[in-house]
Every structure is written in structure tokens, then in C-alpha cells.
Structure 1
């Protein structure tokens, strides 16, 4: 079921060029544009001494559904996936565009995997040249692959593999135009790329009502994180709206309401995820009147998010609530107790005493909220 061999760099370039659109789909991370020390080393070796590449590189691993040896050192691969070596392969491909000096070779391992579970295990355990962080391991999860497919139908690229959008051609990138209504929540220069880590963070803050944890330790909710299974378990339906809607709220807060680092507000710069939590608290408790888990109401959210005019009013009410909350003297005392605003939003802002203030400020806007129902 396995072949170990030596592949000329020129042959690898031809293989990747012809199959680039799908050959990396199972790779934990896509090419990272020479951002890491390993990638820089690959480039330097290719430029200065390609003949030594064989000795300095671990090679690549290709998983296939089947293979056939045709003779004369020719092997036909069925459904090939480069599961370890995206950096190596793309570095070589990039180098081939700059020079004709493609001397050198590298090792290649071809493995026949019996099923997807085995392929996922091979992918996970073979990736070690660069450290594999949680946000890269998202690509192994079927839930997120389903979300990616659904969001593609809406015109958005769900980036579950780090750097995967940037490896696409300009023409492929231009295919992602988003949705005319949902785009109104986004900045004008938005690439229509939704990074998995950012969407998960917004989901935890809004739907899960855990903004302090989303702010302080987002990695906990990524694959291999200590709290990943709290959210992404068998009870969670693979519905794109569960991730898209909190993400839209977060982006709208930064674009229109000036939350985040670019907003210029001395406190709201820390409060983006808190705002997302407050918005969904208003939406579910006061407008949808959700009983129990907010995730069960995802379908009922769609008419609201499809009506930008209506939802912009809810979003502005949430901003009023947050603004009044931050002006409250009880909150001032809690911020002082926390020592810094960062500590306040990462540990204090969603505790019982602060939630009582939040709910008080929401009640003060009840007349405006009732007018929307």
C-alpha cells in the first residue's frame, strides 16, 4: 500500500501545475508565502544549491485512493492529495517561475488510504515541518468542510486552511462575490473570505454567549483546544448561518459602529466581541424570545439578517446598550478592579454582576425593542 521513491523537482513542478486546484484539499495548511523560517530555508536552498535539496528537505507525502505501476518508473495515481508538503511543493513551483535551473530531486511517499478517516490520520501525524496550530487543524473537521461548501454557495470563501485563498488564481478569487444583502454588513474592501478562526470566535461570543472566553482564549475553541468539543459536538448542526451571522455582526460593529482597534474609541476598541454577545442576547431573549439554546433558533434568525434595514436598527440598539453600559459607574469600578481594560473584557465583563448591568440597560431600551417586533 506504500511506495517510497525519488522525484525530480522538474517532475514535481509539472504535477503540481496540472493538479493544483484540488491536490492540496486535504493538506492541513496551504502554502504560507515564505512567512516561516522553514519556507525561507526552502527558497534559499532552491536558489543557491538545488542539488542539495534532497538532503535538506523531508520530502512530500501523497495519499491516494489507489495507484497503478505502469512500468518505466511511471505510476498512475487516483485521487492524489499532497497531505504533507504543500510548502515544499509550492516553493518549488514558485522557484520554477523564476529560473530554468531545476536540477535536484526529493523523496516522495505515496500511501494508499482505505478511507477518509485513515487519510485524516495520515494528514495529522505527517505534518511536523512547521508547527501545526489549532486553526490549521480545522481543515480536518467534516463540520467545517460542510460549512465551506455552504458558504461557497453564498459567494464566500470559508478559509479552513491557512493561506488557501491566496494560493488561488485571480480568476478563481474573483468568483467569490458574496451575497448582495450580507455584503452590506461587511467593509467595502472585504475580500469575501471568512477565516474559520474569526468566525468561530464570533460564534462563541454571540451564539454561545461566552464573549470573555472568545476574547481571552480563542484557541480553546479550535480543534485540539480544551473547549472545542463543548461547541462542535454531535448536537451542533452543520448550518452555515451559525457561523456567518455572528461574523457579520462582528464585522458590522467594526465597519459602522467603530469597534475594534481602528475605531479610535478608548474602550470600545476592546469591546467588539462583547458587543456581539450583547446583540445576540437582545435578539434571542427579547425579539425571538428563545427558550433554551440559542443555536436552536438559527433558522428564525434568517429573516432578520436578510432584512438589513430591520437588523441595522437592532444592531444600533445593541450599540446603545453597550455605550450606556460602559458609562455606568458600577462598570467603572469593575474596570478599576480589573486593572486594565484588556483584563476587564477577558475576565470580568460577563460575570454575574456585569450581566445584571447589561440586562438593566437592555430593559431601558425595551420600548425601542418592542417597536421592532
Structure 2
């Protein structure tokens, strides 16, 4: 397959960023920053990144990141050039940009006092101030679309906190984007070679060795690389909610020397290993590994990190058995899923393999690429939406067309604005499915939850499914433009997801997605409704002295937004379809129980509760209105939605506490 060389990639990048900035009405450097941070978030390099531009004498910053595991404080700055091939990023320039970025830390307190509350820069200063009290590491990122003549500066410190530097220049971005993989290979070098036992194999494509790795070293690998170390794993780390994780943590805390005996260890893969050998050439110790991945044992690895960083244990007495398979990179997609499936013995796998080869993504790619989107202008030119199942597919596909005219034709049929990734799809669908707080938790966590839901619901990925999923993308992007017009600033994405979710709730998922697909746009009534709704969302999510980004991640935020007193305008109500569109709604025991409980209470009693609340003012207006809506739906024989059921039962229980007297036949036990 042809591949864009560095110069072609550079020109394509500038063109795409300019087009995106123009479409979104944003500045070109900010658009580039957001673009790079999104691909780094998908790769697991950064998380919870937010844009917040501030410049003053001797200082410039474009954004920050506060990973919720508390592992680091990340600061971002950008160097974007419209003619990047005309000059290189020199050492003097990169050092100056890193110094200007670091200067923010010393002045963030003064900057905070000069900013109005709830601005993106004010939120950044508040978050940074809190993080500096206990963060173990500061990471400075310089993002540039020029090729650098130097490497990142050596590590330093700020008020005793270690500071590292990450330089993502044109060459590094090019390698990342055209590799077709999620991230750069992880390389591990052991200061003291790791003793191992090699198993005999006549297979050409893989070999296996057994080793015991120090628990602290495994925890530090996770600390450095985080989810990148688990890209091929079949599960994500679920904190300590599951029995297995609690057991792992308890053993580490109370009986660390027996961890080797009690724990199943980890299964890992690598693309290349440097061995020490005996006189017969048999491997006896591992000097280094390239392309390391933990394909089974992710919970063990993350639990070690949790106990090291959160519980402050040194893990010096902990050792972990490791089965390491050295796999030819060409056979990763064939062998690794089988290793993951067959080696999993700790507990039932409920989360799916996050790799691009999952059946859902393969099928969605195949079906969506076969669709022709209707022409939206007088040219009559039909187009296609490009689902980027694996990183770099769009770039590689474009590179297959070697001449400029062929590439122009490719982009006419598959314009870059109609490209979307796996994490984008999760964002669009979760917004429609009224899960905005998951979207706000970042690309990695949102995607993991999306895949868990897909596994449970097992949707039929046919033409209709793909058209409607893409329609949610069109809806989301129009809502994003409206949020920008309302000056949502760096909070735009979270305002967008909450706006789409609240619209979906009000419309009971009966927005005509088929019409959106057919018209490749939204109606005037839908646009007017979003324009009316957006300021209400901003007032609820951004107002107050809460840290906006953290508040938006909480289900309580969605509960508050869902109670906003707002109904669909008549014009949009007239456009609704009869049945709701469920994109990916797995069965939920909790939701089923809530729905059953709501339906056991007669509609008359819900209306009585609403009347009681109106007379005594014991409940909030939104809670009283919810009781009335439930009464109306039940009286008409209509189903109460999941979120309405959960909220309604909460209102019912609150009313009981405040003195509401239910009818005897339905008194809560």
C-alpha cells in the first residue's frame, strides 16, 4: 500500500486543519492543538485534556490535562506554521516554548485572580493549583507541525516536582498517523536482565518464554504508559468494584510475599526481544523488549499501579509471573485475540477486545463504506462517510491515489469532514443514548463503556443501523456549531454532548434520523430547538463555583440537566417519528427494576403525588413535573424511559420522606 511521504503528509495536515478551523470558526493553532490531543487521547498518551489558551509576557499555554488517576499534571503548548516545510523547529525555539509553558506554573495564581469565574482559563488555574499540591509528575507537551532539529529537553523539576518534556513534531506525528497502529511501540530495558525459561517451538511466527517480573517494575510501566500498555487487552481496569480486583488489592496490602502464589500473573506479547543466551544459544535472560503489550492481566497490572501510587506501598516483596509471547508483527491481529481469549481464567470477560478487529467495527466499516450519502448541492455529487476503523486508514487510502488529481477525486467522494473514528462514533452514539457524562470522561473511558454496551446489546449492524449512527454524527456536529455560536469556548464539547442528550430525552429518541441521513443535515425546526436549548444547558453545567470539567463527568450533572424545564417546540414536535431509535441500549437490570417499580404504581397515584407536591411545595418544580409526565404516560399506556424511571423512583422515595402518603395497596415496603 502506498504511504504519504512526510512532505505530502505535511501539506495534507495543513489543508485539513485550515478546513476544520474554517468550518468550526476556531483559530488554526487551537484547532491543531485539539486535533493532536484527540489522537494522543485515543492512543492513551494523554487523558482528560482541555483547551485553555492564555498568553502574556514570557508565558504561553494552549491547554492542560488532569488525568483522574492523579498520575501527572499535563500542560500543552503549540507551534503551528502555515508553511511548515519552509523552516525547521530549532532547539532554541523549542526550548523557548517549553520555558514559556513552564512559566505558567509560577504565575497561575495571579492569572486566576485576573479571570472571571467559569472561564476556561480560570478553570485551568483552579485545576492546576489543586494538582500541584500532590501530583507526582508534571509533563510538558510541545505540539508542532514543523520538523524539529532536536530532541526534547532533559527532565527538570518545579518546586521539587519532576518535570518531563514531550515533543510531538511533524516527523513524530507522521510516524504515528501512518503506522496504522494505535501508538508507538513500547520499549522496556531491564537494568538487571530478567531471568527467563524458553519453551521449545518450531513455529516461525511466534515463540514463548516464561519469566517472573518485579511487581514494582510492572506498576511503573503502567504508570508511564497507562492504557497504551493494555491496547490489546480484552478488559479495562474497573477500579476496585469487581471481586477479582478487591482480592488483588487485599493480597498486595496484607500478604504481598504470597502474591506470586495467589495471582495468575500476566500474559504479554512483544514484537522483538533482546536475550542473554547460554553457550548453546538458549535464552536465559531478557535484556529488553520492544512492542510490549499486556494482553491478559490488565487488572493485575493496574491494581499494582493503584497500590503503588494510591496506597503508597513500595511493592518490593511482590513478584508476578509472566508468559511472554514473541509475535511477528504481521501476525498480531491473528494470534493476539486467541491468546487473550484462551488465557483468560480470572473471571468472565464482560468487556470486549478494544482492537480494531472486533466484529462490530469490521462490520460497521464494511457496511458504512458501501453507503452513498445523497448529494446536498446542485452538483449532484454523492459522497461517502469514511469510518476509520484503524488509525491512519484515511491517510493510507488517500496515498493509494498517487496523482494529485486522483487524490482530489478521492477527497471529493470521501471528504475529510466526513471521516470519523471509533472514539468519535462512541461520542455520537452516547450523546444520543443520553450518556453525556461518559462522553465527558474522555475518549478512552467513553469508548470502553461504549464497547461494553455493544457487547451486551449485540446490535444488528445493517444499512439502517449505519445510516442512523451516521445521522447522530451529523446531529452532533450541527449541535457543536450551535454551541460554538453561543461562545461555549473550551467547554464546547461537553455543552454539545449534553445538548444532544437533553434533546434526545425531550424527544424520547424520536428525532427523525432517517430524514437527517437523507438530507445530510438538520431541519430548521431542529436547529431552532438546539439554539433555544443550548443556553439553558450552559447555564446549568457551567454556572456556580464548581469545576466544570469534573462536574460534567458526574451522573448528578446529567440528572440536573435532565430536569431543566424545557419542552420541544411545536415545530419540532410535529417532525417526530412514531418509534424511538435505539442505537445501542443493552438491557440493564437496574433500569428494568426501576421501570417495573414505576409501572406498579398507578397513574392516579403519580398524579396525586404531583398535586401534593404543588400544594406543599415539598419538591422541586422539575421533580413535580416529572411525576406529572409519568402519570400522563402511564394513563395513556405508554412506556416510561429508563432515565425517567430511575429519576421518578428517586422522586417517589423523596416524597415519602417528606410526608407523602401513598394509597394502602401501593405503600412502599
- TM bucket (normalised to shorter chain) is 0.5 to 0.7
Does the 8 Å CA contact 2:352/2:455 hold for their aligned counterparts?
yes
Tell me how far apart the structure 1 counterparts of residues 425 and 340 of structure 2 sit (CA, whole Å): 15
Matched, 1:103 2:350: no
* Aligned equivalent of 2:499: 252
Matched, 1:312 2:530: yes
| Backbone CA RMSD of aligned residues | 5.0
Q: 1:1-150 counterparts in 2 under 5 A?
A: 1-20=207-226, 22-71=228-277, 73-97=285-309, 98-113=312-327, 114-133=331-350, 136-137=351-352, 139-142=354-357, 143=361, 146=388, 149=391
Which of 153, 158, 167 is the equivalent residue of 2:423? 158
Structure with more contact order per residue of length (Cα contacts < 8 Å, sep ≥ 6) = 1
Query: Closer, same or farther in 2 for the Cα pair 1:282/1:252, shift >3 Å?
Result: farther
Count matched residues.
Answer: 260
Q: For 1:16, what is the secondary structure of its paired residue?
A: helix
Tell me how far apart the structure 2 counterparts of residues 198 and 101 of structure 1 sit (CA, whole Å): 30
Query: Closer, same or farther in 2 for the Cα pair 1:34/1:254, shift >3 Å?
Result: same
Tell me how far apart the structure 2 counterparts of residues 192 and 10 of structure 1 sit (CA, whole Å): 28
Tell me how far apart the structure 1 counterparts of residues 640 and 316 of structure 2 sit (CA, whole Å): 54
Tell me how far apart the structure 1 counterparts of residues 460 and 577 of structure 2 sit (CA, whole Å): 31
Q: For 1:123, what is the secondary structure of its paired residue?
A: helix
In the superposition, the TM-score normalised over structure 1's length comes to 0.53
Q: For 1:29, what is the secondary structure of its paired residue?
A: coil
Tell me how far apart the structure 2 counterparts of residues 231 and 324 of structure 1 sit (CA, whole Å): 20
Tell me how far apart the structure 1 counterparts of residues 256 and 516 of structure 2 sit (CA, whole Å): 59
Tell me how far apart the structure 2 counterparts of residues 29 and 84 of structure 1 sit (CA, whole Å): 8
Deviation at 1:156, TM superposition (A): 9.4
CA-to-partner distance for each residue in 1:99-145, whole Å, 9 max, x for gaps? 22520212100012333221122223333423222xx2151344389
In the superposition, the TM-score normalised over structure 2's length comes to 0.32
Tell me how far apart the structure 2 counterparts of residues 227 and 341 of structure 1 sit (CA, whole Å): 22
Matched, 1:280 2:513: yes
Q: For 2:289, what is the secondary structure of its paired residue?
A: strand
Tell me how far apart the structure 2 counterparts of residues 87 and 117 of structure 1 sit (CA, whole Å): 23
Tell me how far apart the structure 1 counterparts of residues 576 and 244 of structure 2 sit (CA, whole Å): 45
Tell me how far apart the structure 2 counterparts of residues 131 and 318 of structure 1 sit (CA, whole Å): 45
Query: Closer, same or farther in 2 for the Cα pair 1:160/1:23, shift >3 Å?
Result: farther
Q: For 2:239, what is the secondary structure of its paired residue?
A: coil
Query: Closer, same or farther in 2 for the Cα pair 1:54/1:244, shift >3 Å?
Result: farther
Deviation at 1:157, TM superposition (A): 8.9
Deviation at 1:45, TM superposition (A): 0.5
Query: Closer, same or farther in 2 for the Cα pair 1:25/1:282, shift >3 Å?
Result: same
Query: Closer, same or farther in 2 for the Cα pair 1:77/1:120, shift >3 Å?
Result: same
CA-to-partner distance for each residue in 1:47-91, whole Å, 9 max, x for gaps? 001011112111001112232312563342221110111110111
Does the 8 Å CA contact 1:159/1:195 hold for their aligned counterparts?
no
Query: Closer, same or farther in 2 for the Cα pair 1:252/1:127, shift >3 Å?
Result: farther
Tell me how far apart the structure 1 counterparts of residues 296 and 424 of structure 2 sit (CA, whole Å): 18
Does the 8 Å CA contact 2:235/2:353 hold for their aligned counterparts?
no
Query: Closer, same or farther in 2 for the Cα pair 1:284/1:147, shift >3 Å?
Result: same
Point out the structure with the larger helix share: 1
Does the 8 Å CA contact 2:268/2:293 hold for their aligned counterparts?
yes
Tell me how far apart the structure 2 counterparts of residues 148 and 311 of structure 1 sit (CA, whole Å): 35
Q: For 1:111, what is the secondary structure of its paired residue?
A: strand
Does the 8 Å CA contact 1:53/1:106 hold for their aligned counterparts?
yes
Query: Closer, same or farther in 2 for the Cα pair 1:88/1:246, shift >3 Å?
Result: farther
* Aligned equivalent of 2:446: 195
Tell me how far apart the structure 2 counterparts of residues 325 and 310 of structure 1 sit (CA, whole Å): 23
Deviation at 1:341, TM superposition (A): 3.3
Does the 8 Å CA contact 2:296/2:344 hold for their aligned counterparts?
yes
The worse-fitting range, judged by mean Cα deviation, of 51-60 and 310-319 is 310-319
Tell me how far apart the structure 2 counterparts of residues 232 and 84 of structure 1 sit (CA, whole Å): 36
Deviation at 1:333, TM superposition (A): 12
Query: Closer, same or farther in 2 for the Cα pair 1:75/1:99, shift >3 Å?
Result: same
Does the 8 Å CA contact 2:633/2:640 hold for their aligned counterparts?
no
Query: Closer, same or farther in 2 for the Cα pair 1:231/1:104, shift >3 Å?
Result: farther
Q: Structure 2: state its 5+ residue gaps.
A: 1-206, 278-283, 363-386, 393-416, 429-435, 480-496, 533-567, 581-630, 645-669
Deviation at 1:147, TM superposition (A): 5.1
Q: Structure 1: state its 5+ residue gaps.
A: 162-175, 179-185, 201-217, 261-267, 289-299, 327-331, 346-373
* Aligned equivalent of 2:142: none
Tell me how far apart the structure 2 counterparts of residues 309 and 340 of structure 1 sit (CA, whole Å): 28
Deviation at 1:4, TM superposition (A): 1.5
